[in-house]
Chains A and B, each alone.
Chain A
Amino acid sequence: MKESDPIVFVVDDDAAVRDAVKRLIASVGLRVEAFGSTHEFLGGKRPDAPACLVLDVRLPDASGLELQRELSVAGIHIPIIFITGHADVPMTVQAMKAGAVEFLTKPFRGQELLDAIQEAIAKDRLAWNERAQMKELRARYDSLTAREKEVLQLVASGLLNKQIGAELGTSELTIKTHRGRVMQKMFAESLADLVRMFERLKPSVVIPKQSGPPSGS
């Protein structure tokens, strides 16, 4: 199995239920990892792949609802399917409001759980793709030199090479070279493509300060 294959995490303190759920999920060819407590789950290494969490509400260390809150606070957005011995209405409402995909009462039919898992993984795959793209983009941006980042920013703001050259105190030709390298490093197919990439990056990168023309040249 590849690193990026979808994975299902199961957290249930009851070994029998945990094993049965694990066996069921494995039967449809999904990767599955099971934990006996929220603590174990948080301590474990999570592969970078679309994922979902099958979570028992009643757990010995911290309840499933607490874990849901904790993950949300920590910025870990993983779709959660709750399973419980007996669900009361307020509990269900709370879980669904906090973004749970499904709330299943034990004993549930295998197909119900598998359907919920498919739905959760599909949802997370979109988010995961988004995350992967951003990560790739960040890596490309980080490979730029400081001067190239400056050029990228000015290009994106709509200035011509000549204007950029004046701005940075260098020749139009030099700017043209920088610009070519930026296009190459960012894997941009056109100027429009490059501008779009920069717009996506903008909220998450520190825009370098305008260094201005080097003094004395």
Chain B
Amino acid sequence: MSVTASTPETHWPKSRTVRIGLALSLVGLALGLTVLLQSVVSTAGYIFFYAAVLASAWFAGPWSGWVAVILSALAVQYFFIPPIHSFGVSREFLPVFIEFAASSAVVGWFSSWRKQAEAELRYARDELQIRVDERTAELRHTNEQLLGEMAERKRAEEAYYEAQAELARVTRMSAMGALAASISHEVNQPLAAVVTSADACMMWLSSEPPNLEEARAAVECIAQQGTRASDVIRHIRAMFTKRTPERTRVQINELIRDVTALIEAAALRNQVAVETELADGLPDTIGDRVQLQQVIVNLMLNGIEAMSNVTDRPRRLVIRSEMRNPDEVLVGVEDSGVGIAPEDEKRIFDAFFTTKDQGMGMGLSISQSVIEAHGGRLWATRNSDYGSTLQFALPTDRHSTP
């Protein structure tokens, strides 16, 4: 929309004939009116001629103003300045005529100058308006572009986070897969020996006569292999718990704030409003910062996921901390999700129990072991309206053994 203002437009008629015609008819009108007035009042003056000059200059430009001045001067001189009805001027009336001619010229010039000035002013104003419109449009365009870019960046960021989460999940799953294969082999060997020995023992016992010596050897093998299997399990456990948990002073509110910042993106993506209700002046607890952080992340992500199908009510995740009693700090994560089915209530903390399509069923189980290792408890309650609350209680500083 590029509108450029034209040159200052005064709206004076283009045709010279029209301009002269206008001056002529105005002066004629002035003459008629003056004559008419003079029949009533003896000295009428030349007010109508001034008006005609003014109007001509105003409506038809300076050129026609000058024509009107000359015509007026001629008319006045012919009709009103003695000797009347002649173009001669008597000596005593010369100053009057000159005064009239000069003043009408000034009136004409002033009128056309005013008109010109006004036109220029209008032009300047229009020009300014156009410029302002142009700049505004440009700004609006840039603004729209920026908004578009921002939305695009946000989408890209979300896609990136999703891809990252997917990658993490896949990595975790394939690592788990490799580990599971290795564990299953290690455990299957002794189990195979146990089952086969048990069957062999039965066979030897039911032979005629029963071969007690072979049966005994088989049972011996069963006992040995049972121990071997449990050794395998013990080694695996030892492998995973090799890292001795840190024992440091932990401010639980600080931890919650850190975690809330961490999962902000996930919450936003799932249109979940996260609210924190943290009690002031909570005493410190003693424990492993990273492990406790993982527990809170896990509980919050579980809550968010529990609300992924909720559409008929706000998706609200509340995390709160409070003093449960002088010895315990309580942390609760409340969601407005689908809640826990009554039949699942007893199993949610079991390893490998999951209600999610792609869950491993390890989250709550691990969280519970972590909290218990800190001398605390983790449990779930059903909310009075929707969803559930997962909460844990941790002993405060003076009851922990650093």
Contacts and interface: CB of A to CB of B under 8 A. Distances in A.
A107 B184 contact: no
B224 to A, nearest CB: 7
A108 interface: yes
Interface string B192-207: 1111111110111001
A41 B341 CA distance: 57
Interface string B307-337: 0000000000000000000000000000000
A85 B195 CA distance: 13
Interface in A78-107: 83, 85-86, 106-107
Centre residue among A14, A19, A24, A83 by max chain B CB count within 10 A: A24
A23 B195 contact: no
Interface string B179-199: 001001100111111111111
B189 A20 contact: no
Q: Report, as a range, how many residues of chain A touch the other chain.
A: 20 to 34
B193 A16 contact: yes
Nearest to A88: B181
B217 interface: yes
A41 B228 CA distance: 27
Contacts of A86: 181, 184-185, 188
Secondary structure type dominating chain A contacts: helix
Interface in B203-238: 203-204, 207, 211, 214, 217-218, 221, 224-225, 228
Given A17-B189, A19-B221, A24 B196 contact: yes
Nearest to B191: A107
Contact of B203 (A24, A58, A83): A24
A27 interface: yes
Interface in A10-67: 14, 16-17, 19-21, 23-24, 26-28, 58
A111 interface: yes
A106 B199 contact: no
A106 to B, nearest CB: 4
Nearest to B190: A16
B67 to A, nearest CB: 111
B176 to A, nearest CB: 15
A20 B221 contact: yes
Contacts of B214: 23, 26-27
A16 B228 contact: yes
A20 B221 CA distance: 8
Interface of B: 181, 184-185, 188-200, 202-204, 207, 211, 214, 217-218, 221, 224-225, 228
11 contacts: A14-B192, A16-B225, A20-B197, A23-B221, A27-B214, A85-B185, A85-B189, A86-B181, A108-B195, A110-B200, A110-B202
